[in-house]
Chain A
Amino acid sequence: MSALTIRLGDRVVAARIDGGGGVIIDDTTFTVTAARPGEYVVDDGRRRWHVAVADAGDARWVSVDGQVAVVEVESGTARAPRKKSAAADSMMAPMPATVLKLLVEPGQTVTEGATILVLEAMKMELPIRAPRDGVVRAVHCAQGELVQPGVALVDLE
C-alpha cells in the first residue's frame, strides 16, 4: 500500500494504491484497467469512467468526458496546500509572443486594468493589463523582443 497526493489547483486529493489494481480515494476503491497505453477504464463497482492520462514534463494531464486538467502527483500524504506565489505582482506572457508595444517605464504609477504592454502572437494583439494599482518596479523586456511564457516582463511593487 502506497500513498500519493494529487493536486489540482487548490484541490488536494489523497490516494492509496493497494497493489491489486485498486486505488482508494475517500473510502472508495476504484479498479483501474489500462485499455490502451494512457487510456484507463476506472470502475467504482457502480459505474465506469474512461480516463486518458499523459505526462508532459513534470505535469500530468488528465482528460475525462471532454474535461481536461493538469495535476501534480507526489508520493506521500497530503501536506497543507501551497501558498500562492507572488507571481501576481509580475506580468508574464501567456505564450511565446512578440512585444508589440511597451507602454510603461520603471517608476511609473499604474492603475488596475491599465494596459502595460501589447503582445502579438498568431496575428493577434494581446493587451497585458495591470492586475492592480501599483508602481512599475522593473521592466524586463523591450519592444520587438520575442518573449517566452512564464518569464516576468514587468514587475509591480
Chain B
Amino acid sequence: MALKRVLIANRGEIAVRVIRACRELGIETVAVYSDADARAQHALLADRAVRIGPAAPRESYLNQAAILDAAWSTGADAIHPGYGFLSERAGFARACEDRGIVFIGPPSSAIERMGSKIGARRLMQDAGVPVVPGETPPDQQDASLVAAATRIGFPVLIKPSAGGGGIGMKVVRERVAMLEAIAQARREAEAAFGDGTLYVERLVDRPRHVEVQVLADAHEQTVHLFERECSMQRRHQKVIEESPSPALSSSVRDQMGQAAVSAARAAGYRNAGTVEFLLEGEGDDARFYFLEMNTRLQVEHPVTEMVTGVDLVHAQLRVAAGEPLPWSEQALSQRGHAIECRIYAEDPLQNFLPQAGPLVMYREPQGPGIRVDSGVTEGAEITVHYDPMIAKLIVAGDTREAARRRAVDALRRYAVLGVRTNIPFLIALLEHPAFIQGKVDTGFLDREGDALRAALEPDLPPAAFAAAAAHQPTPAQPIASTVAASRREPAVADPFVSLGEWRSR
C-alpha cells in the first residue's frame, strides 16, 4: 500500500528533513504547528499546514488528540513522528494503529517493550545481548533505591525509566548524595515524561557511547547500518557524533552489529531504530553492554547516511508502506568518515544557558562534503518553548582527519548572529588533542568543559572592529541620498552605494 499523504508530527530541522524526503518520493505532506511556529520553516514548506495549539508542547506537539484530528481532517494516511515529542509514546502509535493510520516507526508493542528500561534489559539478557548490572525497585521508595544502589556498588547512575535524551539522569558517587539526586531525577522525569519511575545501574568506567543503526521490514528482514560514536556529550546530551567509531576493531564492530540485529529481532522491531551500547576499552579487547534501544529516527542519523550512502527516511517511508528493505546486509558498507556537530542556541560562556531571540543573520556554510539540516532561516525567532538545537552540520571526508578539518572550516564560516550559539565551543572541541586522537569517553566534556570554555572569551582581531565600524545596517537599500544624513559615512566599497538613486525602489 503506497503512502499518499504523510503528516509530520514534529517541528524544526527534522520536520523539514522528513517533508523533503516525502516530496522526493512523490508523497504529499501535512505539517502541524503551534502558535509559536506559524511562520516556521516546516509549517511553510509542507503542502498543507494545520494549527494544533498554543506554544507549550503539552498543548501542541504533545497533544495527541489535536494531531490525530489534523490527520483525519487532512486525510493523511500516515504519521511520521520525527524524534522527541510523541515519537516514543506507545499509546500514540497504538492510537494511530486503531484509526488505521500508518505510524512511521515500530509497532506500538515494540515501543512498549523497549520503552521500559527494565523490560528491555530482561529481553536483551534473554536474547544473549550483554547488559550493565542494574535494577528498578518495584515500590520506588527512596530507601529501596538507596538499597539498590548499595547492592550494585557506587558510583551509580539514576535514570528515569520512561526517559531518553539524558533528561533526569544523575550520577551519584556516594550514598549520602542519593536522596537529593533521587528527588531531582524524579521531579525532572515527572515533568518531562509524566512518569517518575527511576532505575539505578552501575556506572561503567570511562565508557564510550557507541550505537548501531538498525532497520527492519515487515518481511522478516533486519539489517544493521554500522555504528555511530556519540561519546562527546555534555550532561548526557550529545554534541558531536561520528562514524566509524575510532575505538572499534572490525571484529568488535561485527559482534556489535550482530548484537544489535538480535536486539531488534527480540523486540519484534520494524522500521528504523538504534541500539545504544556502552563500550569499555578499545580495539579487540573492548567490551560492550546494551544501554537502551531508541525506537525512532535519531538526531544523528545523517552520520550514517553520509558513510553508507543510503537515505534512512526514504527507507522508513518504504518500510512503513509494506515494501521490503531496499538493501541487504551484504550490500551495505561504510565508506570514508562523517562527523555531525549539533548547533545549539545556548551560550557556552554562561554555562550553556539556552538562548532566545531573533536570528538577525543566519548563513550556512556550503561546499563539497558539507550538509546542513536546519529548521530555521535568517530572520527567524528562536523561542524558549522548544529544544535549543537549531541545526546540524554534517561533514564527510575520506578520512577522519579530513572530515574533522572540514568541520572546523565549515563552522568558522557558519555565521549565526542575534542569538548566542555553541559554535565557538564546537570548534574548540574539534581542535582538542583528545578529539583529534579519537580518545574521548562520555565523561570527557563534563571533566574538560570548564577548561575549554575558559578559552572561549572572544579575542577579536582589530579587523573585526573595522568591519563593525564600517557596517551599514541596510546595504541593499538605495542609500545614497540618506547616507549624508546618517551619523556614519559610508566606508564600504559597495556597488549599491555608487548606483545610488539609479536603482528602482
Chain A interface residues toward B at CB < 8 A: 2, 4, 6, 8, 13, 15, 17-19, 21-23, 25-26, 28, 30-34, 37-40, 42, 44, 49-56, 60-69, 71, 73, 75, 94-97, 120-126
Q: Are B466 and A55 in contact (CB under 8 A)?
A: no
Q: In the docked arrangement, what's the CA distance between A56 and B221, Å? A: 53
Q: In the docked arrangement, what's the CA distance between A75 and B468, Å? A: 12
Q: Are A64 and B418 in contact (CB under 8 A)?
A: no
Distance in Å: Cβ of B158 to nearest Cβ of chain A: 15
Chain B interface residues toward A at CB < 8 A: 167, 184, 187-188, 191-192, 350, 353-358, 360-361, 363, 384, 386-388, 411-418, 420-421, 423-424, 427, 458-471, 473, 475-476, 487-489, 491-494
Q: Which residues of B contact A15 (CB under 8 A)?
A: 465-466, 469
Q: How many A-B residue pairs have CB under 8 A?
A: 179
Q: Are B492 and A28 in contact (CB under 8 A)?
A: no
Q: Are A33 and B360 in contact (CB under 8 A)?
A: no
Q: Are A38 and B492 in contact (CB under 8 A)?
A: no
Q: In the docked arrangement, what's the CA distance between A50 and B413, Å? A: 8
Q: Are A28 and B462 in contact (CB under 8 A)?
A: yes
Which one of B387, B460, B489 lies within 8 Å of A8 (CB-CB)? B460
Q: Which residues of B contact A121 (CB under 8 A)?
A: 354, 384
Which one of B167, B191, B462, B471 lies within 8 Å of A25 (CB-CB)? B462
Q: In the docked arrangement, what's the CA distance between A32 and B188, Å? A: 50
From A73, A97, A120, A122, name the one whose CB has the most chain B CB atoms within 10 angstroms: A122
Distance in Å: Cβ of B285 to nearest Cβ of chain A: 37
Which one of B361, B411, B414, B427 lies within 8 Å of A61 (CB-CB)? B361
Q: Which residues of A contact B458 (CB under 8 A)?
A: 8, 67-69
Distance in Å: Cβ of B500 to nearest Cβ of chain A: 15
Which one of A4, A64, A68 lies within 8 Å of B463 (CB-CB)? A64
Distance in Å: Cβ of A34 to nearest Cβ of chain B: 5
Distance in Å: Cβ of A38 to nearest Cβ of chain B: 6
Which one of A28, A31, A34, A49 lies within 8 Å of B464 (CB-CB)? A49
Q: Are A94 and B350 in contact (CB under 8 A)?
A: yes
Q: In the docked arrangement, what's the CA distance between A28 and B462, Å? A: 9
Q: In the docked arrangement, what's the CA distance between A8 and B462, Å? A: 12
Closest to A52 in B: B415
Q: Are B492 and A34 in contact (CB under 8 A)?
A: yes
Which one of A17, A26, A39, A123 lies within 8 Å of B470 (CB-CB)? A17
Q: Are B468 and A42 in contact (CB under 8 A)?
A: no
Assuming the contacts A32-B470, A62-B468, asked whether A95 and B384 have C-beta atoms less than 8 A apart, the reply is yes
From A40, A63, A65, A71, name the one whose CB has the most chain B CB atoms within 10 angstroms: A63
Q: In the docked arrangement, what's the CA distance between A49 and B468, Å? A: 13
Which one of B459, B463, B488 lies within 8 Å of A42 (CB-CB)? B463
Distance in Å: Cβ of B115 to nearest Cβ of chain A: 18
Distance in Å: Cβ of B399 to nearest Cβ of chain A: 22
Which one of A55, A71, A75, A120 lies within 8 Å of B465 (CB-CB)? A71
Assuming the contacts A67-B424, A68-B420, A68-B458, asked whether A75 and B387 have C-beta atoms less than 8 A apart, the reply is no
